[in-house]
Structure 1
Amino acid sequence: MFKVGDKVVYPMHGAGIIESIEEREVLGEKSQYYVMHLPVGNMKLFIPLNNVENLGLRQVISPTMVKDVIEVLKTKDTATTLAWNRRYRANLEKIKSGNIFEVANVVRSLAQRENEKGLSTGEKKMYENACQILISELVLTEGSEEEAVRQRLSSALILA
């Protein structure tokens, strides 16, 4: 169970801070919810406590793991070329996993594909979403500014 002030990641949305735990009535049923603020994108989420495990909520990574994430971005993608719909589904599953290394893998492979052949509209949106998720976690992990993290990611991707 998380507590107020914890920095957590909600897959498909990104990293945020638990601001409070509140009881809310939804459809006539009272439940406890984490109130989570996502600083990157300035969004507030209500996450039911009884569904936290299914949703994949987890603590943000430790600061020592950041360099490993950056290394994933710097490596050359060696994945086989799949049809766009299979590639899209595979990348979506990686993002849904909530694993920061899988999200970094998606960012890297889509950035490299963009440079080589371009991305479809759906893949561009996925790329932006994956970047936002990755940036939000690194911002909270390091206490850095969003723009500084964004520039570091761009620099790492250029090296790949």
Structure 2
Amino acid sequence: MSFRGKLRELIVALEFKKGDKIIYPNHGIGIIQDVITTTIAGMKQSLYRMHIYSNESTVMVPVGNIGEVGLRPIASKKEVDKLFRFLRDGSIDTYGDWKGRYQENSEKMRTGSITQVASVYKNLMLLSEHKPLSYRERKMLDRARYLIVSEVALVVDSTEEAAEKKLDRAVKISIKSALASSA
């Protein structure tokens, strides 16, 4: 089973309640404002009404669709520690052609997994050491950075600036290692 499939299975088993902080893939941190029941096309359906902080929007997601959407709880401190080990480890996926790389990275961003987002970030940071990124890849890099930094800052109760510095140090170690092994 794919990573995304496992993630969906795990998330479907979860239930969120009012006040829970969540991650909405590609948008970042939000909060469950309410769980409402409404009638859609003649059928009663329960929906999560969420406030997404990054763009100050309200989003509604059917409770039964959280797996497909990729909605997940905020990472734990243990998961953040694991994330930084991954960020420092020097293993960075590389792709030959722009189209394949962009499609793969887009899919990883849509999973909502902080580790998959970090994989995209490491890949694009390494690529930027060799050549300028395209406009779309630069936007993806900035988005990945925002998603990682905002979640890490929330989880470890630090400022975004402190989370950025920690991210920069970890990725710098990884890139240095990757460049040394390819030399």
Q: Give the TM-score of the pair, scaled to structure 1.
A: 0.84
Picking from 126, 133, 137, the partner of 2:147 is: 133
Q: Match for residue 76 of structure 1? A: 90
Query: 1:114 and 1:83 mapped to 2: Cα distance?
Result: 15
Query: 1:131 and 1:30 mapped to 2: Cα distance?
Result: 39
Query: For the pair shown, which has the larger CA radius of gyration, 1 or 2?
Result: 2
Q: Match for residue 115 of structure 1? A: 129
Please state whether the residue corresponding to 1:94 is helix, strand or coil: helix
Q: Match for residue 143 of structure 1? A: 157
- Check 1:33–1:70 CA distance in 2 against 1; reply closer, same or farther (3 A cut): same
Unaligned runs of 5+ in 1: none
1:14 aligns with 2:22: no
Unaligned runs of 5+ in 2: 1-14, 175-183
Identity among equivalent pairs (%): 34
Q: 1:23: how far off?
A: 4.8
Query: 1:127 and 1:28 mapped to 2: Cα distance?
Result: 43
User: Given residue 61 of structure 1, which amino acid in structure 2 is its aligned partner?
Assistant: A
Query: 2:131 and 2:38 mapped to 1: Cα distance?
Result: 48
Number of equivalent positions: 160
Judge which range, 64-73 or 77-86, deviates more: 77-86
Q: Match for residue 105 of structure 2? A: 91
Q: Give the TM-score of the pair, scaled to structure 2.
A: 0.74
Please state whether the residue corresponding to 1:16 is helix, strand or coil: strand
**For each residue in 1:38-92, what CA deviation from the matched residue of structure 2 results, as whole angstroms up to 9, or x when unmatched?**
3345443332323222212111221112121112222324434320110000111
Using CA pairs under 8 Å that are at least 6 residues apart, name the structure with larger relative contact order, 1 or 2. 1
- Check 1:19–1:140 CA distance in 2 against 1; reply closer, same or farther (3 A cut): farther
**For each residue in 1:109-153, what CA deviation from the matched residue of structure 2 results, as whole angstroms up to 9, or x when unmatched?**
111111222211110011111122222322332232222212221
Q: Match for residue 51 of structure 1? A: 65
Q: CA RMSD in A?
A: 2.4
- Check 1:59–1:20 CA distance in 2 against 1; reply closer, same or farther (3 A cut): same
Judge which range, 38-47 or 59-68, deviates more: 38-47
